[in-house]
């Protein structure tokens, strides 16, 4: 009877084990490459928002206001920026005389804008409810991973407040570059908050009232979020990305000194 060459069961198991080891070795490298790509895409989103911000400033003489009246649920800074993001048809759908929560603004507010999404966030295109509406409301809105810097409290000292607002994106008032006396390269405009409680782009409260170090109060879709005015956070390991007032991007590490973070969150130094 002829004999045929082939693998024994032991040899086959050894080959399978070797393949498993190789996959285990390669998987972290693949994940790292994917995260590097996601981080680059997120940084580019912020740069594009920076270009739009400065285009708005060149035209109007100031940056967009952080938002209208929060008590009246007016529309956000993002709605003002839409024409500079090549979203004029979407901007035309928004009724600025009505609350963003009104039915008339739902067709616009429920749209997803890819430039406002960090690809590292799971389920990033999923629509979200509004904290300005009852939890039973069926209304769902387009998410955003980026918020405006309203200011900081409790970082530079335990008793520090954000009244009056110290940031570049504040309620019911526009800020110009001449008011950023700390320098545009040392002051934040925008930052990441992919799981922020007010993370919908049309919503008036999409601002940071920064009161904690980076990634300490959000950054996981499974976290129990509390409304502290949103905090800087991200799904990028080790920190979060921000947009500075000069249009440049920067990665802020989690171990960043509180007083330094406070200085970046403020447009004018304070002893």
How many Å apart are CA 244 and CA 191, to the nearest integer?
A: 9
Report whether 249 contacts 243 (CB < 8 A): yes
Structure token digits, residue 28? 């972290």
Q: What is the mean pLDDT of residues 107-123?
A: 96
- Which has the closest alpha carbon to 193: 238, 240, 154, 250? 240
The percent of residues above 70 in pLDDT, for the chain, comes to 90
**Residue indicated by tokens 């409290």:** 153
Q: How confident is the model at residue 229 (pLDDT cuts 50, 70, 90)?
A: very low
pLDDT in tens, 200-218: 999 999 999 999 899 886 5
8: confidence class by pLDDT, cuts 50, 70, 90: confident
Q: Residue 180 pLDDT > 50, yes or no?
A: yes
Q: Helices (H), strands (E): how many in the chain?
A: 5, 5
- Is residue 86 a contact partner of residue 93, using CB atoms and an 8 Å limit? no
Q: Is the dihedral of CA 135, 141, 147, 150 positive or negative?
A: negative
Phi and psi torsions of 108, nearest 5°: -75, -45
Per-residue model confidence (pLDDT) at position 227 = 42
Give the pLDDT of residue 56. Answer: 98
Q: Please answer whether residues 147 and 209 qualify as being in contact, where contact means their C-beta atoms are separated by less than 8 angstroms.
A: no
Q: How confident is the model at residue 15 (pLDDT cuts 50, 70, 90)?
A: confident
Q: Are 87 and 144 in contact (CB under 8 A)?
A: no
For tokens 């990441």, name the residue.
Answer: 192
Domain assignments of the chain as residue spans, ordered by start: 29-265
Residues 6+ apart with CB under 8 A from 249: 43, 46, 47, 50, 241, 242, 243
């Amino acid at each position: 009877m002829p004999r045929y060459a082939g693998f024994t069961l032991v040899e086959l198991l050894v080959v399978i084990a070797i393949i498993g080891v190789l996959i285990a070795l390669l998987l972290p490298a693949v994940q790292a490459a994917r995260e590097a790509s996601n981080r680059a895409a997120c940084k580019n989103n912020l740069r594009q928002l920076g270009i739009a911000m400065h285009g708005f400033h060149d035209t109007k003489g100031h940056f967009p206001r952080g938002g209208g009246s929060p008590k009246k649920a007016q529309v956000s800074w993002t709605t003002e920026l839409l024409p500079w993001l090549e979203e004029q048809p979407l901007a035309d759908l928004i009724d600025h005389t009505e609350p963003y929560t009104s039915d008339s603004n739902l067709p616009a507010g429920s749209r997803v804008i890819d430039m406002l999404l960090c690809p590292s966030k799971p389920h990033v295109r999923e629509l979200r409810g509004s904290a300005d509406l009852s939890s039973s409301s069926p209304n769902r809105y387009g998410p955003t991973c980026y918020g405006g810097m309203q200011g900081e409290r409790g970082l530079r000292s335990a008793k520090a407040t954000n009244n009056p607002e110290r940031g570049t994106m504040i309620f019911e008032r526009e800020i110009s570059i001449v008011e950023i006396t700390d320098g545009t390269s040392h002051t934040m405009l925008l930052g990441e908050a992919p799981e922020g409680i007010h993370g919908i782009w049309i919503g008036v409260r999409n601002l940071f009232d920064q009161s904690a170090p980076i990634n300490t109060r959000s950054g996981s879709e499974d976290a129990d979020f509390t409304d502290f005015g949103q905090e800087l956070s991200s799904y990028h390991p080790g920190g979060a990305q921000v947009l500075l007032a000069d249009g440049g991007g920067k990665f802020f590490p989690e171990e960043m000194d509180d007083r330094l973070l406070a200085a970046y969150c403020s447009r004018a130094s304070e002893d």
